[in-house]
């Protein structure tokens, strides 16, 4: 199975901060990498697919980059509604594994 | 509007069975591949199972293989997960999720989830 490792596992940030979360795959997955946001008690929401494509309706302050095994999710300026957990997922091979998640908390 | 609504969760003893359902609306169901994803309390996301639009291709996570069965009824716009021989570690919120059409197999729509609790 392809292992997905996110860092950091959690972080504290302030409204307006620029934030970067990294995701590393245990092997090359080309650009088959997706990012999700999840708020407590809610279903995950797709933010980025194919490493860098913004899902329809997602604000442009979210962006993704990377290819091969190393990827990043960037939020250019944190809004109050962005405090949540974020998960990467590889869709290169079955099983479709997720990273362990990154919890973004208010500083 | 795309909607996915799960049902069928509840409390069951170890070794018991449950059948989850996911009712889909707002899109042409048989054109889309579907998945079940679960989340144990306080934990991360775990993919459980996949089914193609026609139902001809099915995959399972090793953790549920031989115990869970995914199926779909395209005439009823419904997805199912039959869960047998349930274990405590199957306790989780179970989500159905739709594969988007991009070819990158991201999950663009999710249901609200249904909680399965396995406990004696």
pLDDT digits (tens, 9 = 90+) for A25-51: 999 999 999 999 999 999 999 999 999
* DSSP secondary structure letters along B21-90: EEEEESS-GGGS-EEEEEE-TTS-EEEEEEE-SSS--EEE-TTTTTTEEEEEETTTTEEEEEE-S--GGG
B contact test, residue of A62, A73, A96, A98 with most B CBs within 10 A = A96
CB contact under 8 A, B59 and A89: no
Distance from CA of B73 to the nearest CA of A (A): 23
CB contact under 8 A, B95 and A91: no
Number of A to B CB contacts under 8 A, please give it.
65
How confident is the model over B56-87, as pLDDT tens digits? 999 999 999 999 999 999 999 999 999 999 99
Q: Is the pLDDT of residue B104 over 90?
A: no
- With pLDDT > 70 as the criterion, what percentage of chain B qualifies? 100
Among the partner residues A43, A50, A87, nearest to B104 by beta-carbon distance: A50
Please report, in angstroms and rounded to a whole number, the separation of the first and last CA atoms in chain A. Answer: 36
Q: Angle CA(B41)–CA(B45)–CA(B48) in degrees, nearest 5?
A: 105
- Count how many residues are written for chain A: 107
Please report, in angstroms and rounded to a whole number, the separation of the first and last CA atoms in chain B. Answer: 40
Q: What is the mean predicted confidence (pLDDT) over B43-50?
A: 98
Judge whether A59 and A45 are in contact, CB under 8 Å: no
C-alpha to C-alpha distance for A31 and A67, rounded to whole angstroms: 5
CB contact under 8 A, A49 and B44: no
Judge whether B34 and B98 are in contact, CB under 8 Å: yes
Q: Is the pLDDT of residue A107 over 90?
A: no
Unique residue bearing structure tokens 């199957």: B90
């Amino acid at each position: 199975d392809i292992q997905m490792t996110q860092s950091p596992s959690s972080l504290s940030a302030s409204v307006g901060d620029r934030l970067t979360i990294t995701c590393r795959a245990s092997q090359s997955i080309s650009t088959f990498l997706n990012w999700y946001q999840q708020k407590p008690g809610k279903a995950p929401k797709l933010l980025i697919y194919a490493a860098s494509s913004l899902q329809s309706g997602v604000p442009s302050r979210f962006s993704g980059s990377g290819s091969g095994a190393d990827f990043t999710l960037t939020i250019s300026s944190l809004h109050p509604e962005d405090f949540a957990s974020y998960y990467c997922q590889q869709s290169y091979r079955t099983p479709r594994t997720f990273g362990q998640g990154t919890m973004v908390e208010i500083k | 509007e795309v909607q996915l609504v799960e049902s069928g969760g509840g409390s069951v003893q170890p070794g018991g069975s449950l059948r989850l359902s996911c009712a889909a609306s707002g899109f042409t169901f048989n054109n889309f591949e579907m998945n079940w994803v679960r989340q144990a309390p306080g934990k991360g996301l775990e993919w459980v199972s996949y089914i193609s639009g026609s139902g001809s291709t099915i995959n399972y996570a090793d953790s549920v293989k031989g115990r869970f069965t995914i199926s779909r009824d395209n005439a009823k716009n419904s997805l199912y997960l039959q869960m047998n021989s349930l274990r405590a570690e199957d306790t989780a919120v179970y989500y159905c999720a739709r594969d988007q059409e991009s070819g990158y197999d991201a999950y663009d729509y999710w249901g609200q989830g249904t909680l399965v609790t396995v406990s004696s």
